[in-house]
Structure 1
Amino acid sequence: MTRHPVDDPEICEEFGYGLGDPGGILVLRYRSAVALAFGESRQDFLHQLYWSPDGPLATLHGPSVRFVGAGEGFWARRAVSHEVRAGDRQTVYRICLREQPPALDGLRAGPVPVDDEAARLITLIARRGCDEATALTARRRILAGIGAPDGSGPHAAGTGGGTGFALAVARSLSHDPADPTRLDEWAVRLRVSVKTLQRDFVREFGMPYTRWRTLLRLRAARVLLDFHPVGTVAHEVGYASPSAFIHAFRKEYGHTPGHR
């Protein structure tokens, strides 16, 4: 299967408001039946945020691949080289700005939180019929909803009365699905019981930790399979062997990774 060129007009729609003005915004919406790959090394004047509502993104800025999970986007400051990849049957929004969100001052590239309202407004302005005044008002709220990386990791989570433990673990694992940390080890780091952490996973995600991690790894794998051999992908997402990965993939999707 070949990756889809991101400039194909059949999968890319453009929505521009106030273009030419520092306060403008351009949103590119990509939809494809196969994988998407974005690569930027140009010297331009546009900051960029990549965000997907329905799957992880694999990002490359520097020597290693890092994943961006739910509730996050990938920020790239203007003129910073980067690559972003999305899986098959995934929608990706690429938000181009001349102004940098206040919370991201000094950040060259990396995963950043995107709050629910900002996410909603991104989809709102990437629709036909949205007027410019509405879009430019939404732009201000979108910038406010793109937050700086908290850098706290799972160690500092869960201070809000027994909730948030699963979300902290999920965010950490979303960046590195191959992380082999067991549930009991996460519980020790968070200073909670295994039972409490497992219960929080079921409450937040409707499934236990091991099931959630398996789905995360397989979704991350789908992003990479169009670009790397099965053995490489298996290692990248945390499987000890290609055969273990193929077994898990077939069990979940009903076919092997090579027949998607």
Structure 2
Amino acid sequence: MTSHHGQDPESCEEYGYGLGAPDGILVLKYRSAGGLALGENRQDFLHQLYWSPDGPLATMHGPSVRFVGRGEGFWAARAVSHDVRAGDRQTVYRICLREVPPALDGLRAAAVSVGAEAARLIPSIARRGCDETTALAARRRILAGLAAPSAVPPPDVRGAGFALTVARALAHDPADPTRLDEWADRLRVSAKTLQRDFQREYGMPYTRWRTRLRLRAARVLLDSAPVTKVAHQVGYASASAFITAFAKEYGTTPGDYTTREAPARTSPTPVRL
């Protein structure tokens, strides 16, 4: 089953397979030129996974705002209220299930790992012409490719991957004020080694990478909160410092940016499988 709502640049497409059965799956594919605000969402009958291949998602469950980045999705079990937002020109897949993936049993709401095969298969079933047998086989492999949040590697890890460890932690909380030397102490390496690892992995120093992460996270939130609040949520001590950094990166102020990139909002209409 496939249906389409609206036309690009703002659209929502639905792809359903095996609906009515416990092992069915419904995939909603959202895309907007000006950001996506999926709204506060609660499903009493369905579990939901949100995943984007091309940008971070801001997730709200309870009082805090957390972000999920590359290689991750956001899992919300049935009857858990949550809010998910995405940035401009970003595709978001919302996967609705009646069955809990084995690795996520007992998990209410959290960032989860989305494996490489699952990331490849999700878009493959959210397209015209995908037959039900193929889609349901892919569904089993997608669920097998989901994993509970990974623990931070122990501080005695050696070799490559120091920057990746720090990046994963900061991707969840860009406002984390930990300095490069403090991260290095936690990982039991020198600050120089960690800086070199950031340069090798991301082609830029730690402070530059963190600034870009914070500003990209801010773009997801600007439509839903005042500039001052967003500045603090992504780690800036003042709105003026945030505005200066934002304008330097994007050539426009946060206020002008939100005026130009008006977000698409979707209503939390109940979905049934």
> TM-score normalized by structure 2?
0.87
User: Residues 22 and 40 of structure 1: is their aligned pair in 2 closer, same or farther, counting only changes over 3 Å?
Assistant: farther
> What displacement does 1:55 show?
1.3
Question: 1:55-134 counterparts in 2 under 5 A?
Answer: 55-134=55-134
- Tell me the amino acid that sits aligned with residue 184 of structure 1: D
Distance 1:41 1:62 in 2: 12
> What displacement does 1:203 show?
2.6
Larger RCO, structure (CA 8 Å, separation 6 or more): 2
Question: Could you tell me the percent identity over the aligned residues?
Answer: 77
> What displacement does 1:253 show?
0.6
Structure 2 unmatched runs, 5+: 258-273
Quote the RMSD (CA, aligned, Å). Answer: 1.6
- Tell me the amino acid that sits aligned with residue 77 of structure 1: A
- Tell me the amino acid that sits aligned with residue 149 of structure 1: P
What is the aligned partner in structure 1 of residue 175 from structure 2? 178
What is the aligned partner in structure 1 of residue 217 from structure 2? 220
The answer to whether structure 1 residue 197 and structure 2 residue 156 are counterparts is: no
> TM-score normalized by structure 1?
0.91
User: Residues 35 and 157 of structure 1: is their aligned pair in 2 closer, same or farther, counting only changes over 3 Å?
Assistant: farther
What is the aligned partner in structure 2 of residue 169 from structure 1? 166
Distance 2:95 2:203 in 1: 31
Distance 1:16 1:28 in 2: 9
Work out whether residues 157 and 164 of structure 1, in 8 Å CA contact, stay in contact via their aligned partners in 2. no
CA deviation vs aligned residue, 1:12-33 (integer Å, no higher than 9, x gap): 0011111111111111110001
Question: 1:245-260 counterparts in 2 under 5 A?
Answer: 245-260=242-257
Moved more, 244-253 or 30-39: 30-39
The answer to whether structure 1 residue 137 and structure 2 residue 137 are counterparts is: yes
- Secondary structure of the structure 2 residue equivalent to 1:171: helix
> What displacement does 1:228 show?
0.7
Distance 1:132 1:172 in 2: 38
- Tell me the amino acid that sits aligned with residue 245 of structure 1: F
Work out whether residues 48 and 78 of structure 2, in 8 Å CA contact, stay in contact via their aligned partners in 1. yes
What is the aligned partner in structure 1 of residue 19 from structure 2? 19
What is the aligned partner in structure 2 of residue 153 from structure 1? 152
Structure 1 unmatched runs, 5+: 1-6
Give the total of aligned pairs.
251
Distance 2:6 2:106 in 1: 34
CA deviation vs aligned residue, 1:16-63 (integer Å, no higher than 9, x gap): 111111111111110001121223454532110011111111111111
User: Residues 31 and 199 of structure 1: is their aligned pair in 2 closer, same or farther, counting only changes over 3 Å?
Assistant: same
CA deviation vs aligned residue, 1:124-180 (integer Å, no higher than 9, x gap): 111112222221111111111110112x236x2673x51221111111111110111
